[in-house]
Amino acid sequence: MAQTFEALSHHDDTLTGIRGIVHTMKTLSAINAVPYERAATSIEAYHNTILNGFQALFAGAGPIALPQVEPVEKVLVVFGSDHGLCGNYNETVARAVVAAPEFLASEKRGLRVLCVGAQMNDALTGLGITPEAVLLPPASAAGIGRLASDIVTRLETISRGGPQNRLTATLVYMQRSDHGQQRPVVSRLLPLPRSLVSELSAGPWVSRSLPIHTLPSDRVFAALLRSHIFASVFRASAEAIVTENAARLARMQQAERSVDDQLEQVKGQMRSVRQEEITTELLDVIIGFEALKGKERRS
């Protein structure tokens, strides 16, 4: 069914307005990701300092004997998105939770799930997983520290003050991949991987003086462990938000290209309809002129 020029013009105005909104949201996604990316980079440097602290402790006091018993509590910390417009972000993370070795091994019994984001809670509930607690995602980069501190406190409460001995904790979040893609990550947080402890213990201490500390080794280890947990949770939260904004940016770029294609089609139709109207008007003029000439000849 052919459309009038006025209808096509109204459609063109609507698409132009939509394109402006999409372009604005694309710009906001790119801008919002910057402070979170800086936060992720900063906490990475802090985390390296914590690992150096572990190495200094092991170099001065020798390796710390890790527990041989199986932890009694198993916790999954899942990071989701509450802002939307980022595709199947939450559903992908929820499927990674179901496929996590900790989830499969526990068969849902004795597994405690801490969820970040109400939409992530809905995605987990749809797969038959009921989180123990639903936390609010940070509204700004300054809120990541608040969220990380809250999660660390909850882990300490669950483990009754002995996270290394009593707790298995795993982080599940979305991470950026190559070529602008994203992928879910299942990262073991606690207990400390024995490979990490062995690597830090065997690594050379590059300094003229040996590290010393006045506090007992177990207290230093506990303080470093808490900082390690905080830095790991902080980085996972920041990376999840950066990936969320990157996913939203990609969706907005796709939407912008789609709107541009529709605009081009509408403008082409407008040109065609306008040309037809001009041709019709010219034909009307010619026909009228010929009719007048015929009338004059008959007169």
pLDDT tens, residue order, the chain (299 aa):
457 777 777 777 888 888 888 788 778 777 777 888 888 888 888 888 888 888 888 776 666 665 555 667 788 899 988 776 677 788 888 888 888 766 655 555 568 889 998 888 888 888 888 888 889 888 888 888 898 999 988 888 887 766 666 778 889 988 877 766 778 888 888 887 777 777 777 777 777 777 777 777 778 888 888 898 899 999 999 888 888 888 788 778 778 888 888 888 888 888 887 888 788 888 878 887 777 777 767 76
CB neighbour list of residue 267: distance below 8 Å, 6 or more residues apart: 12
In the chain, where are the structural domains located? Answer: 25-252
Find residue 176's DSSP bridge partners: 182
Q: Which fold has domain 25-252?
A: Pyruvate Kinase; Chain: A, domain 1 (3.40.1380)
Residue 132 dihedral angles phi and psi, to the nearest 5°: -75, -35
Q: In which residue are the tokens 């992720």 written?
A: 40
Which stretches does DSSP call E strand in 136-194?
167-176, 182-190
Cα separation of 196 and 205, whole Å?
A: 16
* pTM: predicted TM-score of the whole model, two decimal places: 0.77
Q: Are 234 and 69 spatial neighbours (Cβ–Cβ below 8 Å)?
A: no
What stretch of H or E contains 233? Answer: helix 217-298
